[in-house]
Amino acid sequence: MRTIEDLVRPAAAVNGPNLYTRQEPISACLAETGHVSSSMLRRFARGEANVARGYVDNGHCRIPQALHAALLEPGRFAREYFALDADSRARGFADKDDLLDRVWLSSGEHAELRAMQQAIREYRRAPLAAALESGMRELSIYWTDQSGRRWKARPDCFTADTIYELKTTQDVCPAAFARTCRRFGYDRQAA
């Protein structure tokens, strides 16, 4: 049985016939339809016909997706988002057409994202800032179980002893967050 320590070793030491890891963009992991993920299981449980499709942003997840990118994938955030803030006029852009392809954030949304990032990094009950800086990110994990089923996972961040998954909720009270966990299938994702 492999442990998380096995996963944080270099890929050459981990990859084998039943398990391999790849440092890749999220789009590559989502495009891999030969392996089943927790999001595919959630879509199947809801009765959706095309469970193999990738992530589709219906507009409801815009800010959570922006937070995920800003906190965990700053390079992707810089390429895919444009924040309308006091500094946006001072920044020069070589390719203004590139701005049309980005997700635009209002100054209020950008301020909200920065406040969320700061709150997460400064959380006193857990060393989140250190884990986010030193942990593995953008690592897709693929494996085949003993029955021959093919699975995939992409933890937001993990260290040698902890897996971190960024989740959003409307209410941080324990009972309300438990309802959010059930509603969005966070328990299936954790498994």
- For the domain spanning 4-190, the CATH number is 3.90.320
At 182 the three-state DSSP class reads helix
Look at residue 163 in the predicted model and tell me its pLDDT: 84
DSSP structure class, residue 117: H
pLDDT value for 115: 92
Q: pLDDT confidence of 88, banded at 50, 70, 90?
A: low
Highest mean pLDDT range out of 17-21, 82-86, 114-118?
114-118
Q: How far, CA to CA in Å, does 179 sit from each of 99, 127, 150?
A: 38, 26, 30
Distance CA 45, CA 66 (A): 27
Give residue 11's pLDDT band: very low, low, confident or very high (50, 70, 90): very low
Can you tell me the distance from the alpha carbon of 87 to that of 91, in angstroms, rounded to the nearest whole number?
A: 6
Confidence of residue 36 (pLDDT cuts 50, 70, 90): confident
Q: Which of 51-65, 72-86, 113-127, 168-182 has the lowest mean pLDDT?
A: 51-65
- H-state helical runs in the chain: 4-8, 11-14, 26-31, 38-45, 62-72, 74-80, 96-100, 107-121, 128-134, 174-184, 186-190
Q: CA-CA distance, 163 to 173, in Å (whole number)?
A: 22
Report pLDDT for 175: 93
Q: Where are the domains of the chain?
A: 4-190
Is residue 25's pLDDT more than 70? yes
